[in-house]
């Protein structure tokens, strides 16, 4: 399979990418992330979820009718409401900070001071450029700084940030930053391996390529530790 890797340490350290000369289509095709934070309006949460569902339902009804679909058909008439509920309650639920997982830390009573790896975390996200799925696996690791986290919480952090319109670079950075803040350590590694349906189902229509993005913080930036992590997650060393 063809693979493309983006290493994100320099972006997290504050370096900037100039986007002034790129068109919207170029940005979409190249999957450039414009910042670590998901772009949100100031009044993003002024409406309740129920009000958002009603509004999206009305707009999606117009979209379907504009495409020529007959919403009086039994199979289609409930689609606008179903899509609206899916957007707010499911696939984009990570936009709402109220849905952020509650994280509790525990003392590292076992005195385990080696890396802990949680690999093959399946996630489903959506490309913010075309609103089609990104399907992949996340591999995360950390070295305890005196505190440990429940294993399921690692999965929940990945899912929370995945459930919003995303680019893979931003998703990688958001997961890494959250883990560093929650675990109170820089020693965090994140690697995402994903297929983008905006590549396979439209545009170039390449169904074989996948995208790999990574972040190595603290001790994971050291070559030996990085290679140990990559060995555990089953990635070739050149990644």
Residues marked as catalytic:
127-130, 168, 196, 198
Measure the CA–CA gap between 105 and 150, rounded to whole angstroms: 8
> What's the burial of 24, exposed, middle or buried (CB within 10 Å: 0-12/13-18/19+)?
exposed
Measure the CA–CA gap between 110 and 198, rounded to whole angstroms: 45
Measure the CA–CA gap between 11 and 35, rounded to whole angstroms: 9
Picking from 35, 28, 81, 26, the residue whose alpha carbon sits closest to that of residue 59 is 81
Number of residues that make up the chain: 239
DSSP symbol at 132: -
Measure the CA–CA gap between 205 and 219, rounded to whole angstroms: 39
DSSP string, 50-112: HHHHHHHHHHHHHHHHHTT--TTSTTTTTHHHHHHHIIIIIITGGGSGGGSPP--EEE-TT--
Radius of gyration of the chain (CA): 20
């Amino acid at each position: 399979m063809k693979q493309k890797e983006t290493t994100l340490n320099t972006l997290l350290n504050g370096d900037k990418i100039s986007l002034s000369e790129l068109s919207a289509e170029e940005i979409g095709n190249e999957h450039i992330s414009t910042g670590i934070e998901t772009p949100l309006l100031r009044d993003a949460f002024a409406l309740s979820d129920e009000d958002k569902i009603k509004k999206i339902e009305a707009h999606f009804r117009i979209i379907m009718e504009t495409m020529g679909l007959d919403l009086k058909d039994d199979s289609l008439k409930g689609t606008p409401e179903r899509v609206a509920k899916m957007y707010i309650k499911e696939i984009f639920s990570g936009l709402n900070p109220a849905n952020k997982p509650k994280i509790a830390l525990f003392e590292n009573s076992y005195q385990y001071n080696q890396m802990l790896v949680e690999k093959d975390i399946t996630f489903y996200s959506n490309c913010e450029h075309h609103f089609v799925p990104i399907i992949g696996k996340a591999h995360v690791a950390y070295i305890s700084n005196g505190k440990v986290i429940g294993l399921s919480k690692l999965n929940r952090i990945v899912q929370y940030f995945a459930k919003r319109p995303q680019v893979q670079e931003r998703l990688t950075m958001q997961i890494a930053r959250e883990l560093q803040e929650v675990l109170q350590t820089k020693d965090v590694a994140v690697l995402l391996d994903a297929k983008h349906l905006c590549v396979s189902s439209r545009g170039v229509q390449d169904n074989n390529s996948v995208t790999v993005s990574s972040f190595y913080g603290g001790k994971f930036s050291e070559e030996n530790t990085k290679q140990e992590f990559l060995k555990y997650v089953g990635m070739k060393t050149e990644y």
